[in-house]
Structure 1
Amino acid sequence: MKRFYGGLLVASMFMFLTVYRYVDLKTPVEKPYITASVITPNTTTLPLEWLWITLPDFMNEARNTQEAISGDDITTVSGLFAEQNVSQEPLLTWNRLESLVDNAQSLVNGVDAIKEAGIVWESLLSAVEAKKLSDANENQTRKGNEELCPQFLSKMNATEADGSSLKLKIPCGLTQGSSVTVIGIPDGLLGSFRIDLTGQPLPGEPDPPIIVHYNVRLLGDKSTEDPVIVQNSWTASRDWGAEERCPNLDPDLNKKVDDLDQCDKVVGREVNRTSSSTSFLQSNTSKEEASKRERYFPFKQGFLSVATLRVGTEGMQMTVDGKHITSFAFRDTLEPWLVSEVRISGDLKLISILASGLPTSEESDHVVDLEALKAPPLSPLRPLDLVIGVFSTANNFKRRMAVRRTWMQYDDVRSGRAAVRFFVGLHKSPIVNQELWNEARTYGDVQLMPFVDYYSLISWKTLAICIFGTEVDSAKFIMKTDDDAFVRVDEVLLSLSMINNTRGLIYGLINSDSQPIRNPESKWYISYQEWPEEKYPPWAHGPGYIVSRDIAESVAKLFKEGNLKMFKLEDVAMGIWIADLEKRGLVEPHYENDGRIISDGCKDGYVVAHYQSPAEMTCLWRKYQETKRSLCCRDW
């Protein structure tokens, strides 16, 4: 929570400076990633208001149906696996996944992810070739800072003179901790406005998906005459989802996101308010001081507001003037890294907009400990005890650097007893892909995937880890973890030696009694078509689990034979695969539960601690170096 309130302090300071500039300077500041244009909602596909409808399962399933890759797309996709004159180190599992193309439709977004990968891969190859030519001409300077992923974007006096709305381009997406702050004054006839975080359109779709739609209606709507905030998401294939209102029509449905209310309980309640405010729209600037009873609402027509959308672990948090107001859980296939633009429209006199905490990479020339961070090369003469595959998305540069500087520095990793590799899908942004390629070449620990990253496709990464640990190299055990998890590599290896079982082993935090989530709006929604049974087979939680080599080999073998059932929840998928292997008589599973694998944070004595920020990772590593114990960082 200290980090959260620290962010509010920064936003408050920025508000003061912004208001000062607005009143005294009134000088616009231009930024290369900001463009102003009139946003005219397409009333047939992007209406400002919509019906509150939750579709039945069979309709959602029909919308998720994808056609196999065919026709003109085959040419684009075939380029993914053509022989290229580039470094092969980041591509050791790439061609081994080629048969994903034949069954891409088995997972939501699978076909789109491979089609998009074909396009961005061609762009990346062109950029790599251009870099070679520039190096040959002894011109190794970047083409200006515009090619870097910016950490911060802002614009003052953001509303254009003609009253047009604004688009703020986010070239490298958002990550956990990123925020977008909008400073403005609701005005006009209605005083209603909307903030949309949009992605890039899928191939063949005219309109981009809306990852988060934040609609402020000061005069209410068809459901109420009172002010209301409506949150939602939109895609061309699914249309609008179920809207989330604040205040909620049914307060009992007020769920939690990142342990914060979907709608703060004070919104819409009657409160005694003593106002001492100045309306920016009134010619008379004298202060009104009166005590009156009214319903609390964070926005008020004619009054300055500072609204911040911040990316959390489970969703987006909105604060207004430093107070938490709403939360919005990420929905299936709509993730923060997809955000490419912020769109603001409606009756809002927009004073300023800024995006901060954006993902950016470290230039290798400025990394003082570069050699110590490079992965030790694999050697056939040095068999591995453990391969650790780390899930990461392309723009999570800071998380990967935190892992390199902390638990990848264990002696077991540096000596080559254990190998750590990041498994990363391509990004829709050419800038991100170029930064990722440079990172992979620099550190030698990134394995690129031949598809654009979507949460629904993470099982493909699990498969890639199994292939890497058994075909690219030969390890006794294969571990899967995340880039926000701190792993006690020494304790993992010690536990494996004490278990003393190298066949049929699945070691982790075992869940033997879980059910599919049937809520279509959940990120973890599973339809009856995807899994018809009421319970899952035993599985180990995703932040850190280990399987023995024979299981990983059998999984890879079933994939090659076309007999591996794809399932979008990767940790559950591994449990399903192991249950299938047992039915086939290929393995006799042995489940080893370890409660020290903490899936929801950190507890002293951990073997794996999940949901750790880069700063927390550094703190955990420092505590380990000082005490040689698994101690959490209480101050964070």
Structure 2
Amino acid sequence: MWMTNKLAIKVSIAFFSLVIVRYLIVNSPASGTSRYQILHTSPLKWFKSPVDAQEATPEVAAADASTANSSDSRNSFPEGFQWLDTWNQMKQLSNTTNCLPHASEAINDGRTAWQNLTTSVHNASSQHREKERLCPYSISRMDASKSDTGSFTIDIPCGLVVGSSITLIGTPGVLSGNFWIDLVGTALPGESEKPIVLQYNVRLNGDKITKDPVIVQNTFTAKNGWGVEDRCPSTNSNNATEVDDLERCNARVGREDMDTMNSKHHTAAKKHGEPSTYFPFKQGCLAIATLRVGLEGIHMTVDGKHITSFAYRAGLEPWFVTEVRISGDFKLASAIASGLPTSEDLENSNVELLKSPPIPDSKDVDLLIGIFSTANNFKRRMQTSAVSAKYVMKTDDDAFVRVDEIQSTIKQLNVSNGLLYGRINSDSGPHRNPESKWYISHEEWPEEKYPPWAHGPGYVVSQDIAREINSWYKASHLKMFKLEDVAMGIWVNDLKKDGLAVKYETDKRINTDGCNDGYIVAHYQEPRNMLCLWEKLLRTHQAQCCNTD
């Protein structure tokens, strides 16, 4: 019985305590919305009627300074985080200190935590957007309209690489139908005009040479002006030379359209004197045109059909492009640039896993491999410290290298000095065609033959050669040459003239143009191909290529 009475007393005390707390919350003097309203209102509606700090009661004014300042700082929140004003409403609860112990500290801590969280999210989003802006993977312009200059421009912040493409959707006008697409580079120091890596000029009403529709492709530099035109259709014998195994000009262009020859419209067209020849662009007709960057040149497809291929010319590489400009009588609907080189995320949490482990001072290095990368990643990936090694290998970032086989082969050769090992070319000379990507003038190399050199995807030199070339460089005695693999052959030949006994070792397993089974180096491999090669090597223990789409 005594225990029952004691329990009843405790329950009564608890009940009356709750009644008193409720009374204080509902009737305690405060400005704005009452505590009862706050506790019985949907949280989504709290930020719609923020508390006015100027109407605070003396009890509110006596609250902790950090709480009072919270309403002043709410306007500084990033846009999209206005819901943090909820904490300004809850500030009123913190002032009822006689019924809610430690409420002020709890609410202030909670609000600070939310504010720090949202600020971090906002900063991270801003940094991510900034990185995307610097080197985005794709750029799109919908509902495109021309500027006051009569042209439409897309900025390409980090150049183009193999696989990049520019897709334009639009309609040639009915006035002249002539328009052109320029891939524009950056003006060199001392030059006022920007180079044009490619001008793709569509002349639907012909020009001085022909009255028929024609596509004219060309390049421009401030030093040499306009180059030699590539015309499509063309009777030039140079048209027989393929680019990336594709025709320079589709054989159908300018010829009778086989799709309409047997149609009922063909006879009617003949009677009215209308042309029945095939041409990819027509006045007043929507076209989808895509310029795609290849290994040897730039290719154009229109409505899914390959039309032209244009070989790169000396000094005008795709990574040089900084903008795409569309001009002339062409109504552009949209433009999309995709497959662009992206900047690597320097704050990636996995970046430490990509770094080579430090080399102990006491450990001898047999083989040091240097990887040539794109201009965008060169600074990030360049060597930052000197390392002494018995052999130095140069390779490209699109080459898959079987390092174990390279080391095994070098060990079998047992040549410690004067070694140049790779895919040796002993019978080649400079390209004298100014339109060639590898054009070399007589001033750059007067002789008709190069000394033996190793192809760039993968070659090895011994330590003595690397050390001597480095000393020439430091003394400003190193003769520079724009083809790095040929340059190495020239430098090694100079050492040979100075008395070094050079040992040239060639290996046909170094594939310079793709992949063949039995490779030790496979060139032109995309990341997915490299992953496939690695997985197949682990699974079969054989150097088998991957036929991935």
For Structure 1 versus Structure 2, the TM-score category normalised by the shorter chain is 0.7 to 0.9
Q: Which residue of 2 aligns with 1:372?
A: 353
Give the superposition deviation at 1:537: 1.1
Contact 1:174 1:359 (C-alpha < 8 Å) held by counterparts? yes
| Cα distance in 2, alignment partners of residues 532 and 163 from structure 1 | 45
Q: Does 1:522 align with 2:504?
A: no
Instruction: Decide which moves more: 594-603 or 248-257.
Output: 248-257
Taking structure 1 as the reference length, what is the TM-score of the superposition?
0.63
Give the superposition deviation at 1:326: 0.7
Q: Which residue of 1 aligns with 2:129?
A: 145
Equivalent AA in structure 1 for residue 359 of structure 2: L
CA offset digits 1:536-563 (Å, max 9, x no partner): 1111111111010011111122233343
Q: Does 1:184 align with 2:170?
A: yes
Which of 332, 339, 348 is matched with 2:330 structurally?
A: 348
Q: Does 1:543 align with 2:480?
A: no
Counterpart secondary structure, 1:230: strand
Q: Which residue of 1 aligns with 2:93?
A: none
Q: 1:289 to 1:162 in 2, by over 3 A?
A: farther
Which of 228, 238, 247 is matched with 2:233 structurally?
A: 247
| Cα distance in 1, alignment partners of residues 148 and 123 from structure 2 | 43
Equivalent AA in structure 2 for residue 274 of structure 1: T
Contact 1:508 1:540 (C-alpha < 8 Å) held by counterparts? yes
Q: Which residue of 2 aligns with 1:390?
A: 371
Q: Which residue of 1 aligns with 2:188?
A: 202
Percent identity (aligned): 57
Which of 418, 428, 448 is matched with 1:504 structurally?
A: 418
- The count of aligned residue pairs is 422
Counterpart secondary structure, 1:559: helix
| Cα distance in 1, alignment partners of residues 324 and 302 from structure 2 | 17
| Cα distance in 2, alignment partners of residues 275 and 354 from structure 1 | 35
Q: 1:288 to 1:146 in 2, by over 3 A?
A: farther
CA offset digits 1:427-484 (Å, max 9, x no partner): xxxxxxxxx6xxx3xxxx4338xxxxxxxxxxxxxxxxxxx7xxx1110001111111
Contact 1:274 1:289 (C-alpha < 8 Å) held by counterparts? no
Which of 247, 264, 278 is matched with 2:250 structurally?
A: 264
Equivalent AA in structure 2 for residue 447 of structure 1: Q
Counterpart secondary structure, 2:180: strand
Q: 1:366 to 1:252 in 2, by over 3 A?
A: closer
| Cα distance in 2, alignment partners of residues 550 and 172 from structure 1 | 38
Counterpart secondary structure, 2:542: coil
CA offset digits 1:104-134 (Å, max 9, x no partner): xxxxxxxxxxxxxxxxxxxxxxxxxxxxxxx
Instruction: Decide which moves more: 617-626 or 239-248.
Output: 617-626
Which of 517, 524, 534 is matched with 1:611 structurally?
A: 524
Contact 1:151 1:356 (C-alpha < 8 Å) held by counterparts? yes
Which of 299, 312, 316 is matched with 2:281 structurally?
A: 299
Contact 1:248 1:254 (C-alpha < 8 Å) held by counterparts? no
Counterpart secondary structure, 2:257: strand
Give the superposition deviation at 1:565: 2.1
Q: 1:325 to 1:306 in 2, by over 3 A?
A: same
Bigger relative contact order (CA 8 A; separation at least 6): 1
Which of 315, 319, 342 is matched with 1:337 structurally?
A: 319
* 1:579-598 alignment runs, 5 A limit: 579-585=493-499, 587-598=500-511
Contact 2:156 2:321 (C-alpha < 8 Å) held by counterparts? yes
| Cα distance in 2, alignment partners of residues 482 and 551 from structure 1 | 20
CA offset digits 1:326-350 (Å, max 9, x no partner): 1111211211112111100101111
Contact 1:275 1:290 (C-alpha < 8 Å) held by counterparts? no
| Cα distance in 2, alignment partners of residues 478 and 555 from structure 1 | 12
| Cα distance in 1, alignment partners of residues 373 and 248 from structure 2 | 28
Which of 352, 360, 364 is matched with 2:342 structurally?
A: 360
Give the superposition deviation at 1:290: 6.0
Give the superposition deviation at 1:276: 13
Q: Which residue of 2 aligns with 1:621?
A: 534
| Cα distance in 2, alignment partners of residues 566 and 254 from structure 1 | 34
* 1:288-327 alignment runs, 5 A limit: 294-327=276-309
| Cα distance in 2, alignment partners of residues 537 and 619 from structure 1 | 37
Contact 2:164 2:338 (C-alpha < 8 Å) held by counterparts? yes
CA offset digits 1:265-317 (Å, max 9, x no partner): 1111223333999xxxxxxxxx9996767221111111111110011111111
Q: 1:352 to 1:627 in 2, by over 3 A?
A: same
Q: Which residue of 2 aligns with 1:59?
A: none
| Cα distance in 2, alignment partners of residues 599 and 248 from structure 1 | 32
Equivalent AA in structure 2 for residue 505 of structure 1: L
Equivalent AA in structure 2 for residue 198 of structure 1: V
| Cα distance in 1, alignment partners of residues 189 and 440 from structure 2 | 25
Root-mean-square deviation (CA, aligned residues, Å) is 2.6
Give the superposition deviation at 1:184: 0.7
* 1:447-458 alignment runs, 5 A limit: 447=383
Contact 2:131 2:343 (C-alpha < 8 Å) held by counterparts? no
Give the superposition deviation at 1:372: 2.7
* 1:419-438 alignment runs, 5 A limit: 424=378
Give the superposition deviation at 1:361: 3.4
